[in-house]
Structure 1
Amino acid sequence: MPISKADMQASLHLLEGEDLEYIKTIIEAGSNTRAAKKLGVDRRNVDRRIKRIFAKMVKKGWAPSHDLTHPLPPGRVLGKTTTLYKDGAPVMQWVAAHPDDEYLERVSQEAMDAFRSEIPRAAPTELPRQLTFDPNLATTYILTDYHLGMLAWGLETGADWDLDIAEDLLVRWFQKVIQGTPNSETGVLAQMGDFLHWDGMEAVTPANKHVLDADTRFEKLVGVAIRVLRRVVNILLTKHPRLHIIMAHANHDPASSVWLRAGFKAFYENEPRIEINGSADGFYCFEHGKTSLFFHHGDKRGIGNVDNVLAAKYREVFGRTQFSYAHLGHLHHQALRETPLMIVEQHRTMASPDAYASRNGYISGRSACAITYHKDFGETGRVIITPEMLKK
C-alpha cells in the first residue's frame, strides 16, 4: 500500500537524520515521480526507500493509517497488535512489544564509546617512587553483588540506594581501603558479578523476568558502570605495580559481564601493568606462588559444593599450590567453610537491600573486604570496611 502524504507529514517529528531529510524532499516535491527527478534516481528507488523508512516506523509502533499512533519507547519494537472497531472507529487496542536487538547493539557500542568519552584520557598512572613493594604479597579486593542501578527507599529497606549513592560509596571505599592494605606488588580486583542490577532494556532478572526496582535507563547505567570501574582501576594503579582484574559472570548481569571483560581488555591492552582475566567459564583462578585463589559468583555452585568443581577445573593449579581459597557472592551474607580441599568464603555486599529482600526478611550486614595473601603462607591479613565507616 502506498504511503500517503498525510502519513509522511504526521511522521516528521519521529524521523531523524537522512530519513527525515528524504521524507521532507518527497513532501516538498509533491509526488514520488517529481522527487525522483529532483534526486536524480529512478522512481522505483524512491518507492523502495519510502517503504524501508516506514517499515522502521511500523516497528516503532507508528502507522497512523492503521490506527497505530502511540510510538513505543526506546528499546522496544512492535510485535502483535489487535484493534477493536465499532462503527468503523477504533475503541480498544492491544499492543505487544519485544526488545529491539538493533537498539541493544547500539547500547553496546555506546558502552565501548563510554571508555573514550566519559572520562578524559589521562597519562599512564605512575607509582610513588619512594614506595617499595613486597613481591611476596598479593592483595585481593572483593567486590560482589553491588547492584549498580538498583533503587531503594530507606524507609522501606533501611538504607537509600541509587546510582549517585552507589558510585560515590564505591570510590570512597577504594580510596579508604588502600590506606590500610600493605604495599603488595600485586593487586587483584575481583568484581564477582551482579555489578549491574539488570542486564538490558527491561529492568528484570534475565532468567525468570522478575521485575526489579531500577533507578535509571540502561544506557545511563552502562556509562556509569564503566566510569566508576575505571575510577577504581585508577585508584588501584596508584597502589600496586601489577593489577589482575576479574569481571565475573553472574545471574543479574550475564551479558554485561561479557562486554565488561571485552571492553576493559581492549581499553587496557597497551597497559603492561594490567592483566584482564579473559575466562568466559564463570569459574576463575589466580595463582600466587604456593597460594591459589578461586572465584565464582555463587549462582551455579554454593559454599557446600564449589570446592570440588574448582579443584577439577583448575587441576594443575590446585596440584601446584598448598594454600587454596575460594570466594563466592550471590547470597549477600557472610559464611565460611573449610573443606579438605580449600577454604571457601561467601561474602557480603556493600549495597542496600532492595524492596524484595527487605519484605521477605533477607537481612545481613553490609561490608566489603581486601585480603592479602603471601605466596608461601596463604592469607596474612584483611581490611574490612562498612558503609558506616565511610559516612561523611
Structure 2
Amino acid sequence: MAARKHDDETIKAALTGRTVAEAAQILGLHERNVYTHKARLARQGWSPEHDMTKSVPDGFRLKGTSTLYDEDGKAKLQWVKSSIDHERQAELIREACQAMSEDLPQVVPRKAGDSYLSHLLAAYPIGDAHIGMRAWGEETQGSDWDLAIAERVQCGAMAALVDQAPACEQALIINCGDWFHADNMEGTTSRSGHILDVDGRYAKMIRVGVKVMRQCIESALMKHARVRVCNVIGNHDDTGAIWLSIALSHIYANEPRVTIDTSPAPFMYHEHGKVLIGMHHGHSCKPDRLPGVMATDQAQAWGRTEFRYWYIGHVHHQSVKEYSGVTVESFNTLTAKDAYSAWGGYRAQQNMKCIIHHAEFGEVGRHTVNPNMLKGEAA
C-alpha cells in the first residue's frame, strides 16, 4: 500500500465515525501510521470518542480536559487545559529563522549613480502593511487580501513611487508599524489577545515580510544614493519589528549605501537640514503629546530645525494637524480592510505616499499611488 500525505483535517474526517482499519483504507495508509496520527491528534486535544473535538493551537499540547455531562450523559461543558509544547515551538522558531534567511545572502555593494540632488530627501512612509492578514472581499465589502496580494501591491507601490520621485541623494523608508499582522504562533495580538484573520503559517508570513521589505530597499537604491530604513514598533508586531531590523542589518552589513536603524525605542527621528521627522506608530502616545515628546527627546535638533513633522500609523486613515512647531500626520494603508475593520465601520482610502523634503524649505512635494493604479491590482 503506497503511503500518501494528508493534512490533519483529512485525517480527522477519515477517522470520524470509523475504525482505524476503515480510516487506513480510505487514507491509503498502514494502520500503524493511522494509530500514530490518532495519538498525535489526541495529544493536541482531538479524540471524538472521548468527547474531545477542539484541538489546541500549534506549538501547544493538551494538558487535560474536564467535561461536565448532563443527566442523559451528553457533554454539556468542557474545559481544555494546555501547556506549551517547547519542542514544537522550537521547531517552529527554527522554521521561521530558516524562512527569514532563505535566499537572502548578504548584499554585495553596488556603485551609486553619478548625479543626485543633495538638498532633497525622499520619505516613503508605509502605513500599516499588516502582512499576513487575510480578508474576504464579499464579507468586508472591499478587496480580497492575502500574502500574495500584499507582496504584489506593496512592492508595486514602492517601485511606482520611486519612479516618480526625483533623484534625491537620501531616501528614508518608514515602516510606520504593524508591518506584520501577527506576532505569535497563535495568531492573536500580544497585548489584548484579539483573534486575527491570518493567511498562512507564521514562517510563511516572515518569508513574505522580509522579501517585501528587501524589495522596497532595492527599489529605493535604484534612484537614491543612500537609504535609511526605520521599522517602527507597532501593536501587532512588538517583537517582529525588532527582529526584522536586526535581520535586515545583517543582510545589508556589506552595503554602505543602506542604513538599518536597529533601535528598539518607540520613537525614532531623522534630521535633514532644517527638517526634523519623528516616527511613531501612534498606539501608545496621543498626537497632541507628540510635539512635547519631540521637543524633549530632540532638544538640540529642535533648535536647529524649522520644519518638524511626526509621521504615524495605527489609525489607517489620513489626518493632518498642525500644532505649535510640529505637524502630525497619520497615513493610509495599502492593505484592504479585514473583518474586524469592516464590522467596526472603519472606512478609509488605500494608498501610499512619497514626500519630498527640501533641506531649506521643508516639504516641497508629494506623490500618491493606490492599488488600482498598479499592474495586478488588489481588487
Band of TM-score, shorter chain:
0.7 to 0.9
Partner residue in 2 for 1:326:
310
Residue 142 of structure 1 aligns to which amino acid in structure 2?
P
The structure whose RCO (Cα within 8 Å, separation 6+) is larger is 2
The answer to whether the 8 A contact 2:57-2:186 is kept is no
Q: Which moved more, 1:164-173 or 1:315-324?
A: 315-324
C-alpha distance in structure 2 between counterparts of 1:107 and 1:314, whole Å: 41
Write the distance in 2 (CA, Å) between the matches of 1:180 and 1:223. Answer: 28
Matched AA of 1:228: V
Give the match for residue 49 of structure 1: none
- 1:151 maps to 2:150: no
Residues in 1 aligned to 2:86 and 2:123: alpha-carbon distance in whole angstroms: 37
Which stretches in structure 1 are left out of the alignment for 5+ residues? 1-8, 15-53
Contact 2:121 2:272 in 1 (8 A): yes
Alignment equivalent of 2:337, drawn from 353, 363, 371: 353
The change in CA–CA distance for 1:197 and 1:377 in structure 2 (over 3 A counts) is same
SS in 1 for 2:287: coil
User: How far apart are the structure 1 equivalents of 2:211 and 2:303?
Assistant: 39
Give, in whole Å, the separation in 1 of the partners of 2:86 and 2:229.
Answer: 29
Asked if residue 137 in structure 1 is aligned to residue 120 in structure 2, the reply is yes
When structure 1 is superposed on structure 2, of 104-113 and 357-366 the one drifting more is: 104-113
Counterpart of 1:259 in structure 2 is 243
1:147 touches 1:195 (CA, 8 Å); kept in 2?
yes
Could you tell me how far 1:74 is from its partner in structure 2?
2.8
The aligned counterpart of 1:298 is 282
How far 1:62 moved relative to its partner?
A: 10
- Structure 2: distance between partners of 1:355 and 1:338: 33
1:219 equivalent to 2:203? Answer yes
TM-score, normalization by structure 2: 0.79
Q: 3-state SS of the aligned residue for 2:239?
A: helix
Q: Structure 1 residue 96 and structure 2 residue 66: aligned?
A: no
- Taking the TM superposition and a 5 Å limit, the aligned residue runs for 1:1-392 are 13=36, 74-82=58-66, 94-100=79-85, 103-119=88-104, 123-127=108-112, 129=113, 131-157=114-140, 158-392=142-376
CA apart distance, 1:147: 1.1
Shift of 1:177: 0.8
3-state SS, counterpart of residue 98 of structure 2: helix
- Write the distance in 1 (CA, Å) between the matches of 2:373 and 2:55: 48
Deviations 1:280-308 (A, max 9, x none): 12100011122111100000123222221
TM-score scaled by structure 1? 0.77
User: Structure 1 residues 245, 102: CA separation in 2 closer, same or farther (over 3 Å shift)?
Assistant: farther
Deviations 1:291-339 (A, max 9, x none): 1111000001232222211221222222222211110110111111111
Could you tell me whether the CA contact under 8 Å between 2:313 and 2:332 is conserved in 1?
yes
Structure 1 residue 59, shift from structure 2 partner? 7.4
RMSD of aligned alpha carbons:
3.2
Contact 2:106 2:253 in 1 (8 A): no
1:30 aligns to what?
none
Matched letter for residue 159 of structure 1: S
Contact 2:183 2:189 in 1 (8 A): yes
For 1:375 and 1:111, locate their aligned partners in 2 and report how far apart those are by CA, in whole Å: 41
Q: Are the structure 2 counterparts of residues 282 and 106 from structure 1 closer, same or farther at C-alpha, using a change threshold of 3 Å? A: farther
Q: Distance in 2 between matches of 1:101 and 1:364?
A: 41
Identify the residue that residue 51 of structure 1 maps to in structure 2.
none
Three-state SS of the structure 2 residue aligned to 1:179 is: helix
SS of alignment partner, residue 201 of structure 1 = coil
Offset at residue 75 of structure 1 (A): 1.5
Instruction: Out of 230-239 and 69-78, give the one that drifted further.
Output: 69-78
Specify the SS of the correspondent of 1:305.
Answer: helix
- Structure with the greater alpha carbon radius of gyration: 1
Paired residue type of 1:379: E
Paired with 2:304 and 2:35, the residues of 1 have a C-alpha distance of 67
**Does 313-322 or 274-283 show the bigger shift?**
313-322
- Report the Cα distance in structure 1 between the residues aligned to 2:322 and 2:137, rounded to whole angstroms: 36
Deviates more, 1:115-124 or 1:372-381: 115-124
Contact 1:282 1:296 in 2 (8 A): yes
Q: Secondary structure of the residue that 1:307 maps to in structure 2?
A: helix
Q: 1:380 to 1:107 in 2, by over 3 A?
A: farther
Once the two structures are aligned, what percentage of the paired residues are identical?
34
CA deviation vs aligned residue, 1:112-165 (integer Å, no higher than 9, x gap): 4334324576644444x4x41011111111112111111111122211111111
1:226-260 per-position Cα deviation (integer Å, ceiling 9, x unaligned) = 11111221111212111111111011111111211
With over 3 angstroms needed to count, the CA separation of the structure-2 counterparts of 1:270 and 1:331, relative to structure 1, is same
Residue segments in structure 2 that go unaligned for 5+ positions in a row: 1-31
